[in-house]
Amino acid sequence: MKALYKAGGHPGFELVDRPEPEAGWGEVKIRVITTGICGTDLHIESWDAWAQGMITAPLIPGHEFYGEVVALGEGIRDVRVGDRVSGEGHIVCGICRNCRAGRRQMCIRTSSVGVQRDGAFAEFVVVPETNVWVHDSTITPELGAVSAPSGNAVHPALRFPLVGEDVLIPGAGPTGLMAAAAARHAGARKIAVTDVSAPRLALARGVGADLAIDVGRTRIADAQRELGMKEGFDIGMEMSGHATALPEMIENMNHGGRIAMLGLPSGPIAVDWGRVVTHMLTLKGIYGREMFETWYAMSAMLESNRTLREAVASVVTDCLPAAEWQQGFATARDGGSGKVVLDWTTF
């Protein structure tokens, strides 16, 4: 099969022929149709310090995918050949305290598809049945390819009640855009999205943001006045990881405001903890998806609401043949696009 391959500890991938994986006990073999390019994949491709500390080459990367089940290992109970599926990328141990308590997303021994084991940047991938998510017919290959990042958006978007609330989302990358769409679906009153990329701010308006703020030119306090808000934002979703985003968000939250943090900063961030205390703010770290409550919520929202499906689909701005992966990675890296998807059916 064709696969993107990290042969050793150096930058870059190779598109090469690799042996097809076979499904073992409790595993499912999937013919990959589409894959999304994630920031994790960019780290692995560039072989930066994070990648060097997280993976051991050789490896097939890729963890955001949509495909068709083509073979079943022994012990499979529910998944069937022909099912159209995506996969939860975190494979958990099942026996640590968090796993046994039903908090699988907090497993201390997580192994990740495309990071610690071969992933989906290939014509075939094998994952445990317990990680397979079966889609209905409303989910297109492009939407299926972004199921995992959609879940990353839905998780913080549903962490706090949103009906009638004013929401601030720093970071108009693909996940921030999908979070804005989910917040609109969930009943938010006003939604402001910030970034410095004009194309991404345009996408934010398209998914339902009331205001798309270029923070290189406009302060959030000025945007509040433009929205007619007399008090601060009720809910914040920090999706950028930028060093200035969280401090400015904290400055503009209402008393009792609640912040979900998904963006990963590259270094320490100075926080005015006095304001956090006196304004009685709540900060909640978010990593990945709740397994599998987020998948249920996300699928129900997408399957039942055409407007939301169209909004999330609009975040996919580029779909390229997998053979053009280098162009896809360059587009994803330049920071001016939405989600980039690779089509693996073209070989």
Encoded tokens for 208? 């339902």
Sheet arrangement for strand 166-170: 211-214, 190-195, 166-170, 233-238, 253-261, 282-285
Please give the single-letter amino acid code of residue 10.
Answer: H
Residues involved in catalysis: 40, 43
> Which ranges in 68-173 belong to alpha helices (H)?
97-100, 141-145, 147-157
Q: Angle at CA 240, nearest 5°, toward 210 and 133?
A: 90
Please give the single-letter amino acid code of residue 228.
Answer: G
Which residues of the chain form beta strands (DSSP E)?
Answer: 2-5, 14-17, 27-36, 64-72, 84-87, 90-91, 111-112, 124-128, 132-134, 166-170, 190-195, 211-214, 233-238, 253-261, 282-285, 316-321, 339-343
CA distance 146 to 315: 9
Element (H, E) at 250: helix 245-251
CA distance 170 to 248: 10
CA distance 184 to 148: 19
Let me know: does 224 contact 253? Beta carbons within 8 Å: no
Decide the pairing of beta strands 84-87 and 132-134.
Answer: antiparallel
